[in-house]
Amino acid sequence: MLSFLSSITWNANPIIAELGPFTLRWYGLLFMSGFVVGTFILSHIYRSEKVSPRWVDVITIYMLLGTVLGARLGHVFFYDWAQYKDNLLDIFKIWQGGLASHGATIGIIFAVWLFSRNNKFDVLWTLDRIVLVVAVGGALIRLGNLMNSEIVGRPTDVPWAFVFPRDTEHLVQARPDQPVPAGSVLVQRQREADGSISVQTQPAGSAVAPGSEVAVPRHPTQIYESLFCVFLFVLLYSMWNRTKERTPRGQLFGLFVVLLFSFRFLVEFLKEEQVDFEKGMSLNMGQLLSIPLVFMGLYVLWRAGKDPQNPYGYAPRDLEPEEAKATASRS
């Protein structure tokens, strides 16, 4: 029995504006907002630990490249190699979509390792701080998925269920001899002048016409994951704020990886399959990729702060000399 809310129809336009040949999308804006917000957070953290915030610009470049390349290659090799192996140039067409969060994770870890090696930072010290930024970015990216009406959940009758008329991959064929399910929306596909396919929602109570389909209430898994990333940020920031430069080396990174990918493993049970080959699998690709990351996080968490020679990690404490030099130049 559905509650009085029944469901929430989510029919947001993923496009903000079209400026000549350029299209501004919510997903791209939210994706880049994660890096913008992240620079403020990381600058605050670095200043609090007497590390010059000039390093933030440097690591942001590493992070941006690592995230985009890792996410793209993760999608290509983990989810869609059958399509790309005969069209290798399509790998570079990122604007057509196709990013994978597990690939982004691998790309970020590699980028942080490279940054740390090149600039004499301890890699786990850097990862412990960067996961705060990643949590914020993850929350915003999942909101971008929501704006795209993608990565939807399975059908449900929970009162906070969302109906996604724009998600044409998971529409259900309507039957004239049966009423439209409670909380669902009747839609009709139509071809636009440019050849693209759009959907037109029908008013409640409309008769089922030939070709009509139904968007049924589903779990808003994008919101579940976004809220969990917000929870991770609050948890990890509060932990860092208590200890700061005496944060056990690897503690925040290990805990982040364990919690994030344990949650990812569980929430995948509520999602629709992302690709055809996942149908019939007891565990989907997202779950299979999460398992080794959880074990890696557990190992790092178990070892956190236990190196007697390096319990807290290290970074160039170069803010004080910069401040002293700036003060001397003003006097």
| pLDDT interval class at 2 (50, 70, 90) | very low
Q: Binning pLDDT at 50, 70 and 90, where does residue 174 land?
A: confident
> Quick count: other Cβ atoms within 10 Å of Cβ 304?
20
Predicted pLDDT at 324? 53
pLDDT at 4: 47
If residue 187 lies in a helix (H) or strand (E), which one and from where to where? strand 185-191
User: Please, are residues 303 and 257 in contact by the beta-carbon 8 Å criterion?
Assistant: no
How far is the C-alpha of 214 from the C-alpha of 142, rounded, in Å?
24
Residues 11-35: pLDDT tens digits?
Answer: 999 999 988 778 899 999 999 999 9
Q: What is the pLDDT of residues 40-58, one digit of tens each?
A: 999 999 999 999 999 999 9
| Residue 102 vs residues 42, 106, 132, 205, 254: alpha-carbon distances, Å | 23, 6, 17, 43, 16
